[in-house]
Amino acid sequence: MQGEKLGKYEIRGILGRGAMGTVYEAWDPLIARKVAIKTVALAAEQDAEAREGLARFQREAQAAGRLQHPNIVGVFDYGETETLAYIVMEFVDGEPLKAVLDRGERFPLGETVRILRELLSGLAFSHAQGVVHRDIKPANIMLTRAGSVKIADFGIARIESSSMTQAGTVLGTPAYMSPEQFKGEPVDARTDLYSAGVVLYQLLTGERPFEGSVSAIMHKVLTTAPPKPSELAVTAPTPFDAVVGKAMAKRPEERFVSAAAFAEALRAAFAAGTAAPAAAEEGTIVALAAARPAPAPAATAATMPPSRNRLSLRIAAGVAALVLAGGGLWFFALRPAPPTKPRTVAAARTAPVPPAPTSPSPAPPKPAHVTAPAASAQVSPPSPPTTAHASTGSAAPTPEPAAPAPRATVAGLTASPESVTKAVAAALAPIPCTLIGGFVPSDGNITLAGLAGGGAPAALHQALADAAPTATVNWGITTFRGGATPTYCRALDLLRPAATPFGGARRGFALGLEGGNTILADGDPIVLRLSMPDFPAWLNVDYFASDGSVTHLNPGPTSPAHAYAPGQRVTLGRAANGTALWTAGTPYGRDMIVAIASAKPLFPSARPQSETADAYLPALAATLAAAEAAHEPLDATALLLTTRAKP
């Protein structure tokens, strides 16, 4: 249809196709503006399903056409030809929130609150006009390139003056539907607030509160309270638990009375949740590193602008000293882990890593580019003490020593949480391209956190289904795909025997980015926060970039190799004057940061500051094998991050 006209509108391309019709990019020549046109085929008289689809389409035009608001996709026109009906809408230069979440990206807390408040602003206006959306979900929340929120798709909206939707009709998307929608009861504005609460939950934790088949989701929505966001993600402050709980209350009368009340509760929770970290950031300076000479340029100015090479190692004129902060990893609730016997690397690691095709020369130092936080692990409710989860950089509850634990069903048999742990650990251990920790609390459910790439997520789901088919799984796994997957998988396979396994005694080793944000714009600082494990350890931190290069961050010119005390909290990436030593840069993409704690230095001599992964991984395999042979304690963790251009 490209090049043709639809009414007065010139069709310029296809934006998308769906089961009901096509969305076109078009041009309005009279007003000289770009528009989007959604089309649906006119229904044949005998086709009841098609007629219902057309009725919804007309309802969308009627509902959205009366809503002119900055946070709602505007509808300008409606028309019909002999074969189709069409809606002319505002063209949104951006993408659905779902696309961002599907890439595994996460938003900093402030962005999450802003997105929800803009969503609620649009809903407040819609509700004031007597329109209930009834299908609020990430796929219907558009994000413009500037980051603004636009609510789209009012196809199943309920209009107060309309009798087109009756009680007893179940419409919506199961994972975001309210209890009254599942029961076919009348809906009102509080249904949209429930769905907005589900979106908030997903933004805070990276996971939807309820997963499974439609019947399984319906049962959980009607009868089960999901884990609190702070139990799933260390970056979700506890004040948000009450906000999500009220928004997702089973009974509509227990929810917020309006979108405005929901937005005000968000504001208060954000104020409360961000007040404490400022004080916790105050730490003791425990060491100052030696001066760092400027690195030799990896490319000339003609081929690569000096301020845009992937991981910009920026220094002040003269000397830049690295500050190692003793306090400040505020987003981890830490305490020393119980004493454990030193754990050594498994024999499986002794085999060298199969070399990949060798690059002709080492790649230049890389920047930060990878998606979503690697640490969306589950943590216990505030009452029990917690320790940091070693292999995922996230907090996990200390085992509860109290009353006998309830029993859970595993593979059709009644089993204790300990038996569930053993079964799941055995099922997860052989899956390649993973670095996963977790635990089974007293309720017998399963909490997972870590990284998985390639085809590992599907294998994980199958392994869990085989090992514990009836258990609820709190999924805190960050996944990755793309060109760098083979390199990242090789690295994770090396690290897995060194890291705390699923169900293993947690040693407190944790890694995160300052502020908890793993989506960085060009020029944003890359500052690492670590908590050392429960044994005196030397620290090795490597930056794996998607082009196959590895930059060694620690030890390095600004941070000479030395041992850290058990449980010590460390900041890497800031000079003594507070400036960032490392910043995100081009090319943008997904990168991985790996941290290894060892009883003695991993390498007898310093490696080049930057080298290829193909050169580094075999050397890493050899040194980890040597640590195993010497029965030296080790621990490892990793995270992914994303870099992108500034908006």
pLDDT-based confidence at 515, cuts 50/70/90? confident
Residues for the chain: how many in total?
647
Residues contacting 557, CB < 8 A, separation 6+: 290, 291, 292, 293, 609
What is the arithmetic mean of pLDDT over 32-41? 87
Cα–Cα distance measured from residue 253 to residue 265, given in angstroms and rounded to the nearest whole number: 17
Ramachandran quadrant class, 272 (left: phi over 0; alpha: psi -120 to 50; beta: rest): alpha
> In this structure, are residues 260 and 128 in contact, taking their beta carbons and an 8 Å threshold?
no
CATH class of 95-276: mainly alpha
Structure tokens at 178: 């309210």
What does the mean pLDDT of the chain come to?
74
In the predicted structure, residue 158 carries a pLDDT above the cut 70: no
Q: What is the dihedral of CA 472, 478, 484, 486, to 10 degrees?
A: -30
| CA-to-CA dists, residue 11 to 1, 30, 579, angstroms | 7, 14, 51
Residue 60 burial (CB < 10 Å; 0-12/13-18/19+)?
A: buried
Cα–Cα distance measured from residue 553 to residue 286, given in angstroms and rounded to the nearest whole number: 18
pLDDT, position 439: 83
Cα–Cα distance measured from residue 122 to residue 75, given in angstroms and rounded to the nearest whole number: 14
pLDDT, position 79: 84
pLDDT, position 47: 62
In the predicted structure, residue 196 carries a pLDDT above the cut 90: yes
What is the arithmetic mean of pLDDT over 54-70? 72
Cα–Cα distance measured from residue 23 to residue 557, given in angstroms and rounded to the nearest whole number: 54
Question: CATH 3.30.200.20 residue ranges in the chain?
Answer: 5-90
Cα–Cα distance measured from residue 300 to residue 199, given in angstroms and rounded to the nearest whole number: 46
pLDDT-based confidence at 143, cuts 50/70/90? very high
What is the arithmetic mean of pLDDT over 54-83? 78
pLDDT, position 19: 60
Q: What is the CATH number of domain 5-90?
A: 3.30.200.20
In the predicted structure, residue 219 carries a pLDDT above the cut 60: yes
In the predicted structure, residue 293 carries a pLDDT above the cut 50: no
What is the arithmetic mean of pLDDT over 444-453? 82
In the predicted structure, residue 171 carries a pLDDT above the cut 60: no
In the predicted structure, residue 157 carries a pLDDT above the cut 50: yes
Cα–Cα distance measured from residue 105 to residue 342, given in angstroms and rounded to the nearest whole number: 36
Q: Which amino acid is at 236?
A: A
Q: Which of 28, 77, 135, 542 is catalytic?
A: 135
CB atoms within 10 A of CB 593: 26
> In this structure, are residues 619 and 496 in contact, taking their beta carbons and an 8 Å threshold?
no
Structure tokens at 55: 């009725």
Stretch among 492-506, 509-523, 608-622 having the lowest mean pLDDT: 509-523
135 a catalytic residue: yes
pLDDT-based confidence at 256, cuts 50/70/90? very high
Please tell me which of 328-342, 479-493, 530-544 the model is most confident about, judged by mean pLDDT. Answer: 530-544
In the predicted structure, residue 433 carries a pLDDT above the cut 60: yes
pLDDT, position 455: 79
142-175 burial code (b ≥16 CB/10 A, e <16):
bbeeeeebbbbbbbbbbbeeeeebeeeeebbbbb
More confident residue, 579 or 138: 138
pLDDT, position 324: 30
Could you tell me whether strands 634-644 and 519-521 are parallel, antiparallel, or unpaired per DSSP bridges?
Answer: parallel
Stretch among 62-71, 135-144, 364-373, 413-422 having the lowest mean pLDDT: 364-373
What is the arithmetic mean of pLDDT over 305-312? 40
What is the arithmetic mean of pLDDT over 598-619? 93
Q: What is the pLDDT of residues 5-18, one digit of tens each?
A: 888 999 998 887 76
Stretch among 46-60, 376-390, 632-646 having the lowest mean pLDDT: 376-390
pLDDT, position 444: 67
What is the arithmetic mean of pLDDT over 614-630? 93
pTM of the model: 0.45
Q: What is the pLDDT of residues 553-603, one digit of tens each?
A: 999 877 788 899 998 989 999 888 888 899 988 777 889 999 999 999 999
DSSP H or E stretch at residue 495: helix 485-495
Q: By C-alpha distance, which of 372, 374, 377, 400 is closest to 388?
A: 377
Q: What is the pLDDT of residues 105-130, one digit of tens each?
A: 888 888 899 999 999 999 999 898 88
Could you tell me whether strands 131-132 and 84-90 are parallel, antiparallel, or unpaired per DSSP bridges?
Answer: unpaired
pLDDT, position 258: 95
Residue keyed to tokens 């840069």? 585
Question: CATH 1.10.510.10 residue ranges in the chain?
Answer: 95-276
Cα–Cα distance measured from residue 22 to residue 433, given in angstroms and rounded to the nearest whole number: 39
